[in-house]
Amino acid sequence: MDGDRRVISRRTFLGSTAGFSVALLLHACSSSKDIAEQNRSADVLKVGANIGNVPWEFREADGEIVGFEIDLVKAIGDRLNRQVEFIDTPFTALFPAVLSNRIHVAVSSITITKKRLKTLDFAQPYYDSDQSLTVKSDSGIQSVADLKGKVVAVDNSSTGEAWALAHKEQYGFAEILHYEGLNPAMMDLEADKFDGYISDIPSLLYYTKEKPDLKVVQRIPTGEQYSIIFAKRNPLRDEMNQIITTLKQDGTIAQIYQKWFGIAPEAGTSTAEVLAVPTL
């Protein structure tokens, strides 16, 4: 870890290199047959999700868990004829939890990347995204070019973190702070603990629409796509992928998109089109 990096977390989580290595070892000891048997024997589909990740999965005032991916997974569960149990899990802990088979699958606006495909399987994508820069409305900051000598924040193990680290020297960021989730980061942005937050644009557009003191000032093109993650060779991937195809074809995913974003998905996007399972 670089000297200018520090981790800010609201709770303890399994996200260390050691924990991830242990999960890989445990996964290596499990055969596809073992995984298939676990899938068949479980009436409940255990789904890891980083609750608090608006608009994908979060709690309403009454405690109910809602969101785009919550609705999507429930629709998949209905087609599987299985109850769905959502297990609140910090983002960085989702990956070892899937690899060690403590959960069957995970969601949380998880971007498909070549690095992740080396150890995990993904279903076909269902949302196209980019990164973004969010600042206080009165900050005077208009783009990442205005962040020279300033402090930026990102989410741990996210594609926003990867982008910020790769472009730190180019834009002259003074420091990069690392958070576990959007809500604590937004609280600290409002408290002037850093200058700009780099993260997935749909979450920030949704979060800031009723926050006049915060503003998304720049879309950062990265060409990302979100999907569900599985342990390698888990046959549940192909089963759920086929259901996603059906949900695209019968308009269910389009209806979920309309519900959460207020518009129909654009033709040609991964929300509207049936796509292949991603591979390296």
DSSP state of 139: S
Mean pLDDT of the 224-238 span? 98
Residue-wise pLDDT for 71-102, tens only, equals 999 999 999 999 999 999 999 999 999 999 99
Q: Could you give all domains of the chain from N- to C-terminal order, each with its CATH number?
A: 5-9+129-223 (3.40.190.10), 17-128+225-261 (3.40.190.10)
Q: Is the per-residue pLDDT at 2 higher than 90?
A: no
For 228, the enclosing helix (H) or strand (E) is strand 214-231
- Mean pLDDT estimate for the chain: 89
| Nearest-10 crossing angle of helices 252-261, 236-249 | 80
**Predicted pLDDT at 39:** 55
**Predicted pLDDT at 37:** 56
CA distance 219 to 45: 35
**Predicted pLDDT at 1:** 33
Residue-wise pLDDT for 4-33, tens only, equals 333 333 333 333 344 444 445 445 444 555
CA distance 276 to 197: 33
Spell out a b/e string for 56-80, using b for 16 or more CB atoms within 10 Å of the CB, else e. bbbeeeeeeebbbbbbbbebbbeee
**Predicted pLDDT at 40:** 54
**Predicted pLDDT at 6:** 35
Q: Is the per-residue pLDDT at 207 higher than 50?
A: yes
Strand runs (DSSP E) across 89-169, as ranges?
105-111, 120-122, 127-136, 151-155
